[in-house]
Amino acid sequence: MDFRETVRTAITAILGRKLRSALTMLGILIGIAAVMLTVGLGQGAQAEITGRINALGSNLLIVSPGSTTSSSGIRGGVGSATTLTLNDAAMLADRTVAPDVEAVAPVLQSSASVVSADSNWTTMVVGSTPDWTTVRARTITQGRFFTAAENAAQAPVAVIGTTTASNLFGNRSPVGQTIQVKGVTLTVIGELNSAGSSITGDQDDTVVVPIATFTQRISGGSGLSVASIYLSATSQDTLSAAYQESSAALNTAHGTTSDTQDFTVNSQQTLVNTIATTTQTLTALLGSVAAISLLVGGIGVMNIMLVSVTERTREIGLRKALGATPVAIRQQFLTEASMLGLIGGLLGVGLGLLGSVVLTKLLSFQVQPSWPATLVALVVSLLIGVVAGVYPASRAAKLAPIDALRTE
């Protein structure tokens, strides 16, 4: 019996027991689909979180001040001190000091009520420099951003996010309109392009003003201290170098060392790598649990093949009596088991793809099936069919023709 005849016989045997074969393939089908969806959910979640972190800025480093300790010994959290200044930001912007730092934006911010002619809205008011758009990877959808000259002149201008614009002006263009922040009248000169939400909140709910305007007009202060300094490296490859250069420069300026420094420098990439590692670990764990169902499916294939051998004992005896060799009998049952595994695997891939489309519509991120993982799972399903069919096929091949024909 050639291979084509073996395949035809296997298909006939599978179709002859449709319900049993379908139930047998169900375990493998569910296993493949579970592996695809689990890995897809993990990769989709990782991509979504990474995208939201990257939305905070391009190749971002954030310098935060150190902590304070009161006279009673109570220690404040990181950022409670006033150890960073505008002079620090100017120093870091010097390419001779930090050649791998592309842009620097010192930041002061506070929550405030913003009032327009028709409405009011409480949002975050941020004071910074023109480089803010570069370090935060933001663009302007209409109007423009303020200039260095406007910052130096403490100009009463502001750029607002789309959420803030919608709440203050509805469908009208905010450019050219005026708003009041803590009694200070500001002219809106631009609207930021939408950046969506991130791990820190709605990136479109903000008002950005020149930092000199913020310190002199809005906050009423005259100090040089800033809440944080945002740095943008020249590229992803130079992020580590920018980190080292900024830390060394600030240590020199503050007279501190790595052990006594009164500031912290956090890399966006470190956070991305940490989240990626965590997500990959969880995906591998859940994928391993889902893969157990493939083992269950293999046991189901073995069971159905053993039952098939028992039910077809007379058929096996007749084939042997007509000249079928043990190798041909073994090949017949192995082919049947392999086809059960392969068909179940292919149906599982189809179910996994369908599930990915449905889950993407239900969830807030894209489910991304991994084709390498899917291919591995499909090969495993075929191997499970083969392995599960070895014992039943060997048992069928060892049956004596006379004993098989006598079986009722």
Sign of the dihedral through C-alpha 40, 41, 46, 48 = positive
Cα–Cα nearest to 232, from 21, 56, 81, 14:
56
Cα–Cα nearest to 404, from 343, 300, 329:
329
Burial class from Cβ neighbours inside 10 Å (0-12, 13-18, 19+) for residue 138 reads: buried
Instruction: Give dist(CA 269, CA 162) in Å, integer.
Output: 27
Sign of the dihedral through C-alpha 118, 120, 124, 127 = positive
- 8 A C-beta contact, residue 193 and residue 140: yes
pLDDT tens-digit series, residues 32-72: 888 888 888 888 877 776 666 655 555 888 898 875 444 44
- DSSP E strand boundaries for 99-161: 101-115, 120-128, 140-143, 157-160
In DSSP notation, 195-257 reads --EETTEETTSEEEEEHHHIIIIIS-----B-SEEEEEESSSTTHHHHHHHHHHHHHHHHT--
pLDDT tens-digit series, residues 274-296: 667 777 777 777 777 766 777 77
Instruction: Give dist(CA 315, CA 304) in Å, integer.
Output: 16
- Residue stretches of the chain with pLDDT short of 70: 1-3, 49-58, 67-81, 197-200, 220-223, 268-275, 290-291, 310-313, 316-317, 397, 399-408
The rounded radius of gyration (Å) of the Cα atoms in the chain is: 34
Exposure string of 272-306, with b = 16+ CB inside 10 Å and e = fewer, is: eeebeeebeeebeebbeebbebbeebbebbbebbb
Report which residue type is found at 67: S
* pLDDT on residue 207: 95
* pLDDT on residue 80: 45
* pLDDT on residue 71: 42
* pLDDT on residue 269: 65
Categorise residue 62: left if φ over 0, alpha if ψ from -120 to 50, beta otherwise.
Answer: beta
